[in-house]
């Protein structure tokens, strides 16, 4: 994955990524409401690979996620920018910040139980989840499975 450069609509917040990205399309209620759309393509990256310039504001949600997340946005123009989680090593970036034709294809889809009947399928290589997987349980499974772990996350299976 090469470098990616994104920004909010007014340009006050700029986001650079230089590293691996896993894309999850989220249909959860909080993503719907905060984005005003039916789904958000989140680019999940290592925090160390992301550089955010500007002064975003954060708002904490937890209703449809099992843990609290902070959703950040530009206070000038209102564009959603990113998401921080209890795990400080990972950050989620809103895909729409980046120019057309630069987004990697999705690896997984979350909260598909909320998906509208007319929303498209993203193909056979995408892991489809009705809600949110139990990340802690899956991490423990991978721990048991050993070194294959990291590859398993990237593929979403």
Contact residues: Zn ion, CB under 5 A: 8, 10, 12, 26, 28, 31, 74, 76-77
Cα–Cα distance, 6 to 98 (Å, whole number): 4
Nearer residue to Zn ion within complex by CB, 11 or 151? 11
Question: CB of 30: closest distance to Zn ion in angstroms?
Answer: 5
Cα–Cα distance, 71 to 10 (Å, whole number): 18
Report strand pairing: 108-110 vs 21-26: parallel
Question: CB of 67: closest distance to Zn ion in angstroms?
Answer: 12
The SS3 assignment for 137 reads: helix
Nearer residue to Zn ion within complex by CB, 48 or 51? 51
Nearer residue to Zn ion within complex by CB, 8 or 94? 8
Q: How many CB atoms lie under 10 A from the CB of residue 109?
A: 23
Question: CB of 68: closest distance to Zn ion in angstroms?
Answer: 13
């Amino acid at each position: 994955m090469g470098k990616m450069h994104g920004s909010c609509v007014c340009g006050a917040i700029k986001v650079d990524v230089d590293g691996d990205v896993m894309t999850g399309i989220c249909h959860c209620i909080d993503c719907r409401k905060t984005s005003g759309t039916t789904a958000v393509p989140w680019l999940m990256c290592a925090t160390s690979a992301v550089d955010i310039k500007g002064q975003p504001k954060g708002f904490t949600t937890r209703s449809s996620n099992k843990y609290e997340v902070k959703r950040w946005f530009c206070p000038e123009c209102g564009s959603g920018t990113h998401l921080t989680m209890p795990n400080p090593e990972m950050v989620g970036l809103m895909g729409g910040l980046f120019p057309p034709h630069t987004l990697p294809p999705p690896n997984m889809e979350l909260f598909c139980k909320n998906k509208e009947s007319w929303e498209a399928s993203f193909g056979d290589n995408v892991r489809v989840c009705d809600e949110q997987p139990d990340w802690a349980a899956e991490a423990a499974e991978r721990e048991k499975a050993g070194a294959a772990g990291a590859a398993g996350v990237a593929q979403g299976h």
